[in-house]
Amino acid sequence: MTQILVLNSGSSSIKYELIDMAGPQTRAAGLIERIGEPMSTLTHEAQGRQLRIERPMSDHREGLTAMAEAFEQTIPVRAGALTAVGHRVVHGGDRFAQPAVIDDAVLDAIRDCIPLAPLHNPANLLGIEVAMQAYPDVAHVAVFDTAFHQTMPESSFRYAIDRATADAHRIRRYGFHGTSHAYVSRAAAAFLGRPVAQTNTITLHLGNGASACAVRGGVSIDTSMGLTPLAGLVMGTRSGDIDPGALIHLLNMGLDLGDLDTLLNRRSGLKGMCGHNDLREVHAASARGDRSAASALDVYVHSIRHYLGAYLVELGTLDAIVFTAGVGENDPVVRARVCAGLESLGIEIEASSNEAARGPSDVADIATAASRVRVLVVPTNEELEIATQSLEAVG
């Protein structure tokens, strides 16, 4: 059996999934939360059996010990039964266009990207180091959120600021959600029965974080997130695009850097505009007559259509628009509004199939028969993509 353990380590959490690649199927999955707090929890599910461990876990090492116990009590992972451990790493800078089998040089390179992702990369590194001690005889692979977008041309990734400053501080567009954009663009091509290399898609990853990607022939040529995951689309609590001059103005008005960070990351997006970051709550508030919720939804949809239009022009020809992640997979209202009035561009949604596609387990085509561009709802699976890329990396 070829099994890959996928780990996504945050500062106080570890998400994990054990995948049997023959299926492929999930053998076990779990989440360790509130590491370092007085009470930590692990929730674990393995083939229908659920398990919960509540006790203080002071660090990631104790978290992984609890994970090993959960495996032991449900589906023991024998020594030698793992082919690789795949780690999600948020920022690979411009060093990684592919997943990398982790050695000291790779660890150094991930460390070198900490200034670009000060919240994420240290936690990812910690998870890797602890897991390498827990599973010393297995290959560990780093799979980067940024890697898929390393194919962007310079016209897409370069910001028009002083070249020396940009280069000295590595200021450019990197893009994120790469594993998801890679997975759904390939799944879309497979669904359409076309070679990936001859398929153009615009992938819309709409979760709490959100990004759009223009994919030409399986390759990312542009994406909406930038140096950081703050840019681009309106998100649950993040602003997306904003005039950088507004930030200078706010600094002049007396806000400090911490205030700006909180404003843009936590008090913006849907939450900032109407008090709710969950689309279900935004719809409910709007239905109750809450004007700020209705307007927040308008701004949200406008930002997606803005990128849709831009990427349609960049690609020239388009085979499919792909909706994915929490909102994309579940929200027919957002999908209908994003695609409304685009019949002259060959994009037309079929109302009943759009309504029916709520959390589909497989790809759903929601375009009319006449629509030249297919509109697909594709459930993303970042864990499976990390496992697949890890397996490829270890050969």
Site of interaction with ligand ADP (CB under 6 A)? 207-209, 236, 277-280, 325-327, 330-331
Cβ proximity to ligand ADP, 140 vs 177, nearer residue: 177
Q: Which residues are CB-contacts of 231 (< 8 A; sequence separation ≥ 6)?
A: 173, 224, 225, 240, 241
Shortest Å, Cβ 252 to ligand ADP: 33
Instruction: Judge contact between 178 and 147, C-beta under 8 A.
Output: yes
**Does 145 participate in catalysis according to the annotation?**
yes
Shortest Å, Cβ 207 to ligand ADP: 3
**Pick the catalytic residue: 145, 222, 319, 331?**
145
| Radius of gyration (C-alpha) of the chain in whole angstroms | 21
**Which of 117, 105, 124, 224 shows the shortest CA–CA distance to 170?**
117
Cβ proximity to ligand ADP, 187 vs 192, nearer residue: 187
Cβ proximity to ligand ADP, 259 vs 278, nearer residue: 278
CA 365 to CA 347: how far, in whole Å? 12
3-state SS, residue 275:
coil
Sheet holding 200-206, edge to edge: 219-223, 210-216, 200-206, 320-324, 374-377, 364-365
In the beta sheet, which residues pair with residue 150? none
Cβ proximity to ligand ADP, 29 vs 394, nearer residue: 29
Give the phi and the psi of residue 3 in degrees, each rounded to 5. -120, 135
Shortest Å, Cβ 328 to ligand ADP: 8
**Which of 108, 20, 93, 31 shows the shortest CA–CA distance to 66?**
31
Cβ proximity to ligand ADP, 331 vs 385, nearer residue: 331
* Residue 69 Cα to chain centre, angstroms: 29
Cβ-in-10-Å burial (0-12, 13-18, 19+) of 237 comes to middle
Tell me the residue nearest to ligand ADP as measured from the CB: 326
| DSSP annotation string for 314-337 | HHSS-SEEEEEHHHHHH-HHHHHH
**Which of 233, 4, 325 shows the shortest CA–CA distance to 139?**
4
Cβ proximity to ligand ADP, 145 vs 319, nearer residue: 145
What residues are labeled active site? 145
